Every structure is written in structure tokens, then in C-alpha cells.
Amino acid sequence: MTSTIAELTLSGPYRHAQRMLAAWLEHGQALARRRAFAVRVALAALNAPERHRIARWLAWLAVAAESRRQPALLPRIRLLDAALGQATEDAFARLPMDIAAKRADNRRLTA
């Protein structure tokens, strides 16, 4: 007997917002400023569960960026959309504890 796993179905607006947000995060500051409005429009089309899902996705992206010593994503997300930034920080706080501990240990100390 085979077991089946429910496939995660993502709506068209969610996939569009995720692609727009990923592209926005990858671009430099000048291009990101020009595309911020389009990203905000894409985010506005999301319903509450989708905004929660994208906040969790952004929290994991922030963990990945910190582990690669890349610039912090959370301040940029907060500048784009304050509510999404807060939701992302809340999602980050709910990640497994060892992730949060590693995040605190990754900070470099200055002399």
C-alpha cells in the first residue's frame, strides 16, 4: 500500500508575489527602489494565509542569508512593507530554537 502526501497548492497570486519578492531581494538598491511599487502591488493581492506563508518563507530566507554572511534581509523587508516585516520577524521567532541560537552566535564582535 502506498502512502500519499498532500501536495502544497499555491495560488497564482502567491507564486507571482513570491517571484516578484525574490527578484526584488536579489537586485541592488537602485533597481529595488524602482521595483518596490510592483512588489507592493503583488503583495496586496495575497489573502491572510498567503501573507503568513510568505512571511515564513522570508524568515527562512533571512536565516539562509545570515548563514552566508550576506546583508540582513529583515530591515529591507520592513522598509518595503512594515506589516510584512513584522510578520516575518514573528515567523522568525517561531523557527526552531537551534536556528535562533545560531543566529545570535553568527554576529561578529568588533574590537
Do 84 and 39 contact (CB within 8 A), yes or no? no
What are the percentages of helix, strand and coil residues in the chain, rounded to 5?
Answer: 70, 0, 30
Q: What beta strand segments (E) does 2-77 contain?
A: none
Percentage of the residues of the chain whose pLDDT score is greater than 70: 78
Give the pLDDT of residue 2.
59
Q: What is the pLDDT of residue 101?
A: 55
| pLDDT for position 108 | 54
Contact 21, 43 (CB under 8 A): yes
What's residue 89's pLDDT? Answer: 92
- Could you tell me the three cell numbers for 98? 537551534
Q: What is the mean pLDDT of the chain?
A: 81
What residue segments make up the domains of the chain, in order of their start? 12-105
Tell me the pLDDT tens digit for each residue of 56-102.
999 999 888 887 887 788 888 998 899 999 999 999 989 886 665 55
Question: Per-residue pLDDT for 42 more than 80?
Answer: yes
d(CA 43, CA 81): 9
What is the model's pLDDT at position 71? 77
With a threshold of 0.85, does the pTM exceed it? no
